Structure 1
Amino acid sequence: MPDHAVVSPEVWLEARKAFLQREKELTHLRDAINRERMELPWVRVEKEYVFDTEQGPQTLASLFDGRSQLIVYHFMLGPGWEAGCPGCSFLIDHADGALPHLNHHDVTFTAVSRAPLPEIQAYKRRMEWKFPWVSSFGSDFNFDFHVSFTKQQIAEGITYNYEQHPGRDGGETELPGMSAFFRDADGTVFHTFSSYARGIEDWIGTLMIFDRAPLGRNESSTMSFLKRHDEYETKPKAAACCHGE
């Protein structure tokens, strides 16, 4: 059993009610930040990006699939990779169930990776996902949205999450993020928002559940527990602390 304070129900209730005020502060702050996000300026997308999709080559405008809003998840799967990033795979596990709600509220969701389409399709089949996933292989899209980098760029220094990172040897050539776009009635596309690193952590509903569990995320390092969903043991091991082992 963890070393933790154990109190009477009355003391617990007082502590919980006090903490509730902090939770409400966070909720109100999130509401305010969401309003401010919607007020940010937009940028017209001038470049004609073309993606390889299951329906053939498509432009960024055609990825909207008849809707006015598009959310792109920049999935870390580079050319020649045997499998997608475990963290991206964890996040995207939450996508399929959201699709009907997004689509019926005028939002299209798609993942974009720089791997060629056959490599994307193979990993998608392995993971049994249904969401749209397209390839930007041969396009500047990933580079322009600061989620893909050449080894030379990494050595010289890159910009990621709106910050300068000094040059170094090695390092990931693909990094995660999301970008949002709006398409108006005449087909003009605007880039409205992008977020990187932990900026979209709240997309991962499982982490939000862990945060309310008695031991929280129970990590030795960031998401140290994580595996792709088909790599876990068939039967989870019981934690030693819960059985006095």
Structure 2
Amino acid sequence: MEPHKIVSQEEWLAAHRAHLAEEKALTHARDALSRKRRELPWVKVDKTYTFDTAQGRKTLSDLFDGRSQLIVYHFMMGPDWAEGCPGCSFLSDHVDGALVHLAQRDVAYVAVSRAPLEKIDAFKKRMGWKFRWVSSLGSDFNYDYFVSFTPEQRAKGKLFYNFTTIDSEMDELPGMSVFYKDETGDIFHTYSSYGRGGEPMIGTYTWLDLTPKGRDETHGMMDWMRHHDRYDEQPEHHSVDGGCH
């Protein structure tokens, strides 16, 4: 760590008062952006999607679990993957504590992957998670929401992701999608976020951002982060466009 500027208590207070003004401005800007997000147009979901769950085959409507709002986390775990994406796992380590609070605000949460349910369940058990996690294997769901890609798409090296075309040959990428179900049962896609859009849900980063060393990353989370049961091992190497964050 580089040597840092040391000042008097008075100078410290003056610098922190000025910084607090910027932090408050950011908070107000975030509140305004959130209002704009809620005002975005919706699109009706006309296709019927089904998923393999621990309770049998379920539709997208079933996943609302009696609530009107549904958050779907597109967890990177393809059909032939041995385990889930480390970056998606990092985010998912922060989910369980929020579930009871989300439920009180009419919000259901579910993770969705194309891996078969037995692989999902085994990895979920290993990680000790409680949130619902279902399989979209055999469904168009992941493809329609631009987080899974066909061999033909990958062969071109150009994928439509995060509302634009990117250079990548990945088979899976992360994201979140939000849905609303009205009183008649109609479902609407209200919002999706990809890439670093899920970062605000990672509380560990919020804590690290308060510290002198910060995130201490050169190329991103894959510099140091790994599955929480593997911190005694050397980190694996992942490509920067691996999409695990």
Same topology, TM > 0.5: yes
Q: Do residues 180 (structure 1) and 212 (structure 2) align? A: no
CA distance in 2, matches of 1:58, 1:188: 16
Q: How far apart, in 1, do the equivalents of 2:155 and 2:122 lie? A: 31
String of CA shifts for 1:38-82, please: whole Å, max 9, x gaps.
Answer: 000110000000000000000000100000000000000001211
Aligned to 2:226: 227
TM-score calculated relative to the size of structure 2: 0.92
**What letter corresponds to residue 165 of structure 2 in structure 1?**
Q
1:81-120 correspondence runs (5 A)? 81-120=81-120
CA distance in 2, matches of 1:165, 1:8: 49
1:142-196 CA-to-partner distances (Å, cap 9, x unmatched) read 0000000022202222110001124x6xx32000000000001111100000000
| Match in the other structure for 1:139 | 139
1:7 equivalenced with 2:23 (yes/no): no
Rounded to whole Å, the distance in 2 between the matches of 1:88 and 1:35 is 27
Give 1:42's aligned residue.
42
Counterparts of 1:132 and 1:172, CA distance in 2: 25
Cα distance in 2 for partners of 1:165, 1:225 equals: 25
Residues 201-228 of structure 1: CA deviation (Å, up to 9, x unaligned): 1000100100001110011320111011
Deviation at 1:199, TM superposition (A): 1.1
Matches within 5 A, 1:116-131: 116-131=116-131
Shift of 1:233: 2.4
Structure 1 runs of 4+ aligned residues shifted over 2 Å read none
Residue-by-residue CA offset, 1:76-114 (whole Å, 9 max, x unaligned) = 000121111000000000010000000111000000000
Counterparts of 2:166 and 2:11 in 1: how far apart (Å)? 48
Task: Quote the offset at 1:200 in angstroms.
Answer: 1.8
Letter in 2 for 1:160: Y
SS for the counterpart of 2:165 is: strand
> Could you state the TM-score of these two structures normalised by the residue count of structure 1?
0.92
Q: In structure 1, how many angstroms separate the alpha carbons of the residues matched to 2:185 and 2:175?
A: 25
For structure 1, the residue ranges without an aligned partner over 5 or more in a row are 235-245
Q: Which residue of 1 aligns with 2:165?
A: 164
Q: Distance in 1 between matches of 2:225 and 2:151?
A: 27
How much does 1:13 deviate?
0.8
* Structure 2 unaligned regions, length at least 5: 234-245
**Aligned equivalents of 1:193, 1:165: Cα separation in 2:** 20
Which entry has the higher C-alpha Rg, 1 or 2? 1
Q: Does 1:214 align with 2:215?
A: no
Give the number of equivalent residue pairs: 231
Task: Map residues 192-203 of structure 1 onto 2, 5 A cutoff.
Answer: 192-203=190-201
Give the Å deviation of 1:126. Answer: 0.6
The residue number in structure 1 matching 2:242 is none
1:147-158 correspondence to structure 2 within 5 Å: 147-156=147-156, 157-158=158-159
**Same amino acid, percent of matched pairs:** 58
